[in-house]
Amino acid sequence: MEQSAILIIDFEFTMPEGKYQPQNFFPEIIEAGVVKVEDGKIAETFSNYIKPKKFGKLTERCKKFLKIKQEDIDSGMKFEDFINKLKEFDSEKNSVIITWGSMDMKVLKHNCMINHIPFPFKGELRDLSLEYKNFFGDKTLTGLWKAAEEYGDKGTGKHHKALDDALTTFHLFQKVENDKKYLMNPKPTKIGDVIDLTGVLRKNAT
């Protein structure tokens, strides 16, 4: 049976200027990074800016936090074209969609609704940060790059750069999946009867 492709996705969003959101404000996707994985390997990547419709002028806070320029956004692709690109990545309509956290898909669904465009994905949606929390028995969700550090990895590229975050998520996904398989089918040894392997896996992961 042919395995479904995996799309690992990360978005960056518009932000209000201050701590409190102005009336009617909602986050819009302004940068996207996508990593398509087939047979466990990266088959294709995508990175681009998306021009927001409702809040086209970026706040100073947003530009500073994301290190993004207004001209980058002004020359970005239209939201409709971006959705068509996502559909191209998921041409079979059965890809597994993986994100770090639930916010990416929530914002995508809301942006689609605002623009009167159907949500582009039909396959399974997986929140890797929740899986990470449950796998290691953590009490709270862990940030993407903190999780990478816990695995002895510095992450890929720059934090809050959509494609770099998607690639970092991909590498974490590989490590967690490998650890899950190890715990389900450990090598013949009695060490598992002596220590709690889940407590040391991420410290010793390479």
Confirm whether 12 is a catalytic residue: yes
- Compute the residue count for the chain: 206
Residue 160 a catalytic site member: yes
How many CB atoms neighbour CB 40 within 10 A? 9
**DSSP string covering 154-187:** --SS-TT-HHHHHHHHHHHHHHHHHHHHHHHS--
- Dist. CA 103–CA 105, nearest whole Å: 6
Catalytic residue from among 12, 28, 149, 159: 12
Using DSSP bridges, classify how beta strands 41-49 and 29-38 pair: parallel, antiparallel or unpaired. Answer: antiparallel
- Which segments of the chain does DSSP mark as H helices, in order? 60-66, 70-74, 79-89, 103-114, 128-136, 144-150, 162-184, 201-204
DSSP state of 94: -
One of 110, 160, 171, 177 is an active-site residue; which one? 160
Rounded to whole angstroms, how far apart are CA atoms 86 and 120? 7
Q: Alpha-carbon distance 10 to 28, whole Å?
A: 13
Alpha carbon 78 to its chain's center: 21
Which residues are part of the catalytic machinery?
Answer: 12, 160
